[in-house]
Amino acid sequence: NKESSSSRGALIVLEGLDRCGKTSQSGKLYKYLDEQGHSVESWRFPDRNTGVGQMISSYLANKSQLDDHAIHLLFSANRWEKRDYLSEFSTWSCPQSTGAHPPPTSLMEEKLKSGTTLIVDRYSYSGVAFSSAKGLDIEWCKAPEIGLLAPDLVVYLDISPEKAAERGGYGDERYEQLEFQKKVAGSYLSLRDSSWKVIDATLSIEDVEKKLREAVLDCMMTCHKGKPLSQLWP
Ligand code: TMP
Q: Could you report the per-residue pLDDT of 8-23, keeping only the tens digit for each?
A: 999 999 999 999 999 9
Q: Which amino acid appears at position 170 of this protein? A: Y
Closest CA to 162 of 177, 175, 151: 177
**Ligand 1 centre and the CA of 46: distance in Å?**
6
Going by CA atoms, what residue is nearest to atom 15 of ligand 1?
130
High-pLDDT (> 90) share of the chain, %: 82
With a 6 Å cutoff on the Cβ, whether 148 touches ligand 1 is: no
* Residue 60 CB–ligand 1 contact under 6 Å: yes
The residue-averaged pLDDT of 209-233 equals 96
Residue with the bigger pLDDT between 227 and 2: it is 227
Look at ligand 1, atom 21, and give the residue with the nearest C-alpha: 126
CA-nearest residue for atom 4, ligand 1, is 46
User: What b/e readout covers 92-116, taking b as 16+ CB neighbours within 10 angstroms?
Assistant: eeeeeeeeeeeeeebebbebbbebb
Q: How many CB atoms lie under 10 A from the CB of residue 154?
A: 22
Question: Would you call 227 exposed, middle or buried from its count of C-beta atoms within 10 A (0-12, 13-18, 19+)?
Answer: middle
Ligand 1: atom nearest CA of 18 is: 10
Over residues 36-83, the pLDDT tens digits come to: 999 999 999 999 999 999 999 999 999 999 999 999 999 999 999 988
pLDDT at 13: 98
Range in 24-33, 104-113, 138-147, 215-224 with the lowest mean pLDDT: 104-113
For the ranges 45-59, 103-117, 176-190, 210-224, which has the lowest average pLDDT?
A: 103-117
Ligand 1, pocket-test mutation among 74, 78, 126, most atoms within 8 A of CB: 126
Output the DSSP codes for 45-57: SS-TTSHHHHHHH
Angle at 186 between CA 183 and CA 191, to 5 degrees: 130
Provide the percentage of residues in the chain whose pLDDT is more than 70. 88
The predicted pLDDT at position 89 comes to: 46
Asked if residue 149 lies in contact with residue 109, where contact means CB atoms within 8 angstroms, the answer is yes
Of the candidates 210, 233, 231, the one whose C-alpha atom is nearest the C-alpha of residue 108 is 231
One-letter amino acid of 41: E
Residue nearest to atom 2 of ligand 1 (CA): 18
Of all protein residues, whose CA lies closest to atom 5 belonging to ligand 1?
46
- Can you give the pTM of this predicted structure? 0.91
Q: What is the pLDDT of residue 198?
A: 98
Q: How far apart are CA 165 and CA 8, in angstroms?
A: 38
Q: What average pLDDT does range 177-196 have in this prediction? A: 96
pLDDT at 103 over 70: no
> How confident is residue 5, by pLDDT bands cut at 50, 70 and 90?
very low
pLDDT grade for 168, boundaries at 50, 70 and 90: confident
Sort residue 152 into left (φ over 0), alpha (ψ -120 to 50) or beta. Answer: alpha
Sheet holding 153-158, edge to edge: 40-44, 117-121, 11-16, 153-158, 197-200
Query: Does the ipTM surpass 0.85?
Result: yes
Please give the distance, rounded to the nearest whole angstrom, from the Cα atom of residue 218 to the centre of ligand 1.
27
Any ligand 1 atom below 6 A from CB of 19: no
What is the sign, positive or negative, of the torsion defined by CA atoms of 121, 124, 128, 131? Answer: positive
226 within 8 A of 6, measured Cβ to Cβ: yes
- CB of residue 170 inside a 6 A radius of ligand 1: no
Q: From the CB of 127, is ligand 1 less than 6 Å away?
A: yes
